[in-house]
Amino acid sequence: MADQATGPVEEAPRIVPALLVSIIMFAAEAALAAILVKGSLPVQVILAAHVVFVLLLVAWTWIAIVRDRDARLYAWLTWMTLVAGPLGPLSAIVLAVLTYWFGRSARPFDEWYASLFPDEDQDASDRLYERIVSGREEAVSDASSLSSLTDVLLTGTTSAKQSVVALLARRFRSDFAPALAMALSDPEPSVRVQAATAAVTIEERYHNKRVELEEATNANPKDAEGWLTLARHLDEYAYAGVLDADRQNQTMQEALAAYNRADRQGAGDPMVNRLTCGRLLLRLNELEEAEALLAGLVDTAPDPRVSMWHAECLFRLRRFDDLRKRLDDPRLAELSIDPKHVELGPVINLWQIAELLGGDLGLEMAPAP
């Protein structure tokens, strides 16, 4: 079905024909009703005329569908005329007027989507850098734009879902990986096929950019900023949601190596580089190295999430005594007040209760993203 316009200029050509036919059908059906009340013609003749009118509307609606026009008003008129007689065209007239009235202020879907992301000139590597500084793992959960997209994928029509997938393919960033994953598992086959095609397109874009950055670093190995840009891109690539588990781990390993090389050459903020490497080591299950690196940042890094990642390392290493001490960190208690980390509060409280009882409760800490 053709895209549905929402501006008044575009609405008129779509609504006026339906409105005119609705008025004609209202007059015809009202005349049949009047004849029926007066008894001027047999009931069979009146019913036959009613059926003819409905069949004409069915043919008209079918032609509109075949020509890929918006046939919603036509379908409404046809069905309501069939079941409600003259009240059906009357309801279609009201619906057409309301559609035109509200369509004057409605915004096209593309315009609405573009308004969610006014700053698209920012480089992807810079976006990733900012997410690391502010807590990279939480960038997705607090994005109102992501909530809007997932709402459309949950409750929107097939056409709206396809529009979301198309726009994701054009303007994807790793923050939108949950939306892409939702589209890939959508119950509508056409949406899943389009999402799979979008995933291939997105992966190809990441891969081409990666090849370009690798060629640049190979041509100039002493370019520290080049290595840092490559590391950020690989980190973004790993979190894009388009790689299987093995390739994701391999990409994270390569991002880690690029970060280390950039750090040795003096690129970027050393604390941010170490924080990023600690997170990657944790996700790669290099727990001993991750714990050693994050332990050195807990008391110096301003971001309290470092304590959360360090606590996860201690739990997975089964160093429960050290974990209890880490959970006493007041910054973690402050972090648990944040709506994005409300699950931390019960975990901290239960571990403290276990300590009072003289043992642990067999609690498991869910890994941070």
End-to-end CA distance of the chain: 40
How many residues make up the chain in this entry? 369
Mean residue pLDDT across the chain: 78
Query: What pLDDT was estimated at residue 17?
Result: 84
Instruction: Check pLDDT > 60 for residue 23.
Output: yes
Q: How far apart are CA 221 and CA 235, in angstroms?
A: 19
- Render pLDDT for 145-166 as a digit per residue (tens, 0 to 9): 566 677 778 877 888 888 888 8
* Cα–Cα distance, 359 to 101 (Å, whole number): 68
Local structure of 357: helix, strand or coil: coil
Do residues 333 and 324 make contact, with C-beta atoms less than 8 angstroms apart?
no
d(CA 267, CA 270): 8
pLDDT for position 136: 41
Residues 6+ apart with CB under 8 A from 33: 85, 86
Q: What is the pLDDT of residue 258?
A: 93
Q: How far is the C-alpha of 176 from the C-alpha of 239, rounded, in Å? A: 10
Euclidean distance between CA atoms 142 and 40, whole angstroms: 69
Confidence of residue 358 (pLDDT cuts 50, 70, 90): low
Task: Delimit the domains of the chain by residue range.
Answer: 8-103, 285-369
Looking at this protein, which amino acid is placed at residue 325?
A: K
User: Which residue is associated with the tokens 């990642």?
Assistant: 309
Look at 241 and 276; give whichever has higher pLDDT.
276
Give 129-150 pLDDT, tens digit per residue.
444 334 343 433 444 456 667 7
Q: Which residues, other chains included, contact 41 with Cβ-Cβ below 8 Å and sequence gap of 6+?
A: 35
pLDDT of 122 over the 50 cut: no
- Global pTM? 0.54
DSSP 109: H
pLDDT at 232 over 50: yes
CA–CA distance, 54 with 357 (Å, rounded to integer): 77
pLDDT (tens digit per residue) in 341-351: 556 656 666 56
